[in-house]
A = this chain, B = another copy of it.
Amino acid sequence: MELKLEDVDDLCTGAAFLGAGGGGDPYIGGLMVKEELMAGRRIEILDPDHLPDDDLVIPTAMMGAPTVLLEKIPSGEEPILALRAVEAALGRKAAATMPTEVGGINSTIPLFVGARLGVPVVDADGQGRAFPELQMETFAIEGVAGTPLGIADEKGDFATIRTEDNHRMEWIARGITIRMGGTAYFANYPMSGAEVKRASVKHTLSLARSIGRIIRTSRREKHDPFEELEAFIATTSYGRAKRIFSGKVVDLDRQTSRGFTLGAVTIAPDSGTGAHCTITFQNENLCAKADGALLAVVPDIITVLDAETAVPITNETLRYGQRVAVVAVGVPPIMRTPAALKQFGPEAFGLEEAYVPLAG
């Protein structure tokens, strides 16, 4: 399937939704992708089920604090430099690229790389949403080695990391990202087509585009976008979506620290009285509670949307006084296994809450 210019905005909206408040605003990435298409380059979205088993696939992405991304615009060459570093370490060229995460700007980075290099982009990723750390990947859970990892910045500096431990890969790459100014671009988990089929969350670029299209068209057609989203997601492997809170942003604690955007947002109910909803985040929203009661928790997706338009609001653009709705979405079975919960369930984020899959 070829990605068309008119698909890009929908894909970005859906990626922001799946970004769970983090993942970086896809707006900048979307602009970069549109420029490529307008310059006549093609972007081929490849169904993972059609990928030859022996093909080498090298995922590409950005990392760091989304708040920094807004002020540190990429040159466009960074993820290509990162991919080239992995190719050099392996002594082999990539036949395709793909997202490491579908949420946020990282749905768009591999599209840009695919356009520039003339290789297809696999319609799958390793997070099925956005997560803040590099070991939080279904790729890792399924035994794919994280390194060689290539990492590059807008100055043209780059580095290659080799380690057998994905937590140390994350730890060292995060240290480099901080030194590169708070954001960097990377390529890791190089794998075969057969491994992509086994270890990825499939068809998530298509999912993002569909979610974005629903938010856009329901507004135009005066349908309730929240109802439409719930109905659509019920037909996917994610299974369930639910509006868990509505109200006004009344408090916001947001810091850029340790290479992440960290904090919490508090939302007062529409009624003016009753329990407030508090959502904590490490780039992505981790846990939503009201009066101490758990509403939703990772790996389920918690996204804050504009109360009227259902346009997703990423954490770096949250502001006091915004009228918002909070939507939670369940995740596919591959993301809820005991091994998956160990990588990116509540305990992996230091939360005390047990994982309770989103109730109906």
Contact = CB atoms under 8 A, between A and B. Distances in A.
Interface of A: 88-89, 155-165, 168, 171-172, 174-176, 178-180
Nearest to A170: B179
Which of A89, A159, A160, A164 has the largest number of chain B CB atoms within 10 A? Answer: A159
Nearest to A159: B161
A317 to B, nearest CB: 29
Contact of A164 (B89, B156, B162, B164): B156
A162 B159 contact: yes
Contacts of A161: 157-159
A176 B172 contact: yes
A180 B176 contact: no
A316 to B, nearest CB: 24
A164 B158 CA distance: 10
A163 B157 contact: yes
Which of A88, A172, A174 has the largest number of chain B CB atoms within 10 A? Answer: A172
A176 B180 CA distance: 11
Contact of A157 (B156, B158, B162): B162
Given A157-B165, A157-B168, A172-B180, 16 more contacts: A155-B163, A155-B165, A156-B164, A157-B161, A157-B162, A157-B163, A157-B172, A158-B163, A159-B161, A159-B162, A159-B176, A171-B179, A174-B179, A175-B176, A175-B179, A176-B176
Nearest to A168: B157
Contacts of A160: 159-160
Nearest to A157: B163
Contacts of A175: 175-176, 178-179
Contacts of A176: 159, 172, 175-176
Q: Which 8 A-B pairs have the closest CB atoms?
A: A175-B179, A157-B163, A175-B175, A160-B160, A159-B161, A172-B179, A159-B159, A158-B162
19 contacts: A88-B89, A155-B163, A156-B163, A156-B164, A157-B161, A157-B162, A157-B168, A158-B163, A159-B161, A159-B162, A159-B176, A160-B160, A171-B179, A172-B176, A172-B179, A174-B179, A175-B175, A175-B179, A176-B176
Contacts of A155: 163, 165, 168
A33 to B, nearest CB: 27
Which of A162, A171, A178 has the largest number of chain B CB atoms within 10 A? Answer: A162
